[in-house]
Each structure stands twice: as C-alpha cells, then as structure tokens.
Amino acid sequence: MTVNQAGRPSKANERIPEILEATFAVVVREGLAGVTFSKVAEAAGLQRTLVLHYFGSRDELIGAFIDHVVGAMGTAIVHHHDDLPLPQRVAAAYAPGAYRTRDDMVVWAELVALSARDQAVRERLHKLWTGRWLPDLEAVLADRHPAVSAEDVSATAYALACLFEAHWALDIQGVVDERRQQHIERAADIILGSLEVR
C-alpha cells in the first residue's frame, strides 16, 4: 500500500480507475474534445483538484485513458472466447457482442478520428496495435497453426485486424445488415482458411 506524504494510505489504486472510468463516460457523452478535469471530476463524483492531483495535465489523463481503458478493451476483444475453436472465435469477433457495448465502439471511433490529427494519440494507438494486440493475435494463430511461417501468421493477423476495423467502422455508420454480416463472417473465414492451405 502506498503511503502519501501526510502518512495516510494512498487511495491511488481506488481513485485512478474511478477517474479513468469517468473519463470513459465523458468521452461517450461529449467526445474527446469534451474531456475536461471539471467534467471528469463531476462524472467521478470527485473534486476537480483531486483529478488534477492524479493527472497533472489533460494530455496525461487522455494518455492514461488510452493506455489503460482502451488497452484493456482491445485486449478483451482479442482474447474474447478463448475457449472456442479458432474459426468460431474469429467469427465471434465480427458478430454482435465483440465490443462490450456500443459505447466502446463510440470511444474507439473518437480515438481513431483524433489519431488522424494528434500525434500523441496516434503513437499510443500504434504502440497498442504493434506492441500488444497484433502480437497477441499472432500468438493465438501461431499456437493453432505451428507449421505455418511467422510471416504468414503475421499477414493473416493483420488482414483479420484490418477486416475487423473496417467492419465495425461500417457498423457504427449503420451499413451492416444481415446479408453484410454473413459477408464479413465469410471473408474472415476465407482469410483464416488461408493458414490451412500453406
């Protein structure tokens, strides 16, 4: 347990997750542009100065939000349905329920849009993709297809990730219907099937 300067036990382990979840709520309601210490504090039921105590700047708060909340969200998607056979697991990534909630999709869309204009956000998302999510997906595929070359596994993981991103971007725009849902599941199956013919 961390002790603060006054000798009291630190509440950082409790407060920081509360603040980051409140940040999530503000992003869902008002977008990333709406994230202020005051709005996050209000959503968390805390004083603004307490949010400032844990996060010295808005950039630090947004960075921690991306690293922890969004990072965990992506990891949960990659490891969702670990118990299923690989084809069903991949199909589940394109089916309703892949994202925990529609709010998760809204937050992700906000971050993707901001990454086009904000170098720091782009770098954090790049780090999550290249240092965490793609390697995790590659490990899952390599485990199920040990005879396939690392390059083919990497290419397949990247193709599935690109398909995932495009599918959910179109879904949030209302483009996905039952027929297109069948198309995306078939396309994912074709990509995954490419590992079988190697």
> Across the chain, which distance is largest between two alpha carbons, in Å?
65
Please tell me the predicted confidence (pLDDT) of residue 7: 62
Q: How confident is the model at residue 174 (pLDDT cuts 50, 70, 90)?
A: very high
Q: What angle do CA 143, 133, 149 make, to 5 degrees?
A: 35
Please tell me the predicted confidence (pLDDT) of residue 111: 94
**Quick one: what percent of the chain has pLDDT higher than 90?**
90
When pLDDT is averaged across residues 143-164 and rounded to a whole number, the result is: 96
Phi, psi of 94 (to 5 degrees): -110, 5
Phi, psi of 195 (to 5 degrees): -70, -25
Residue 3 has pLDDT above 50, yes or no: no
pLDDT in tens, 35-91: 999 999 999 999 999 999 999 999 999 999 999 999 999 999 999 999 999 999 999
Residue among 98, 99, 19, 102 at smallest CA distance from 58: 19
| Cβ atoms of 12 and 91 closer than 8 Å | no
Tell me how crowded residue 64 is: count the other CB atoms within 10 A of its CB: 18
pLDDT in tens, 183-197: 999 999 999 999 986
HEC profile for the chain?
CCECCCCCECCHHHHHHHHHHHHHHHHHHHCHHHCCHHHHHHHHCCCHHHHHHHCCCHHHHHHHHHHHHHHHHHHHHHCCCCCCCHHHHHHHCCCCCCCCCHHHHHHHHHHHHHHCCCHHHHHHHHHHHHHHHHHHHHHHHHHHCCCCCHHHHHHHHHHHHHHHHHHHHHHHCCCCCHHHHHHHHHHHHHHHHCCCCC
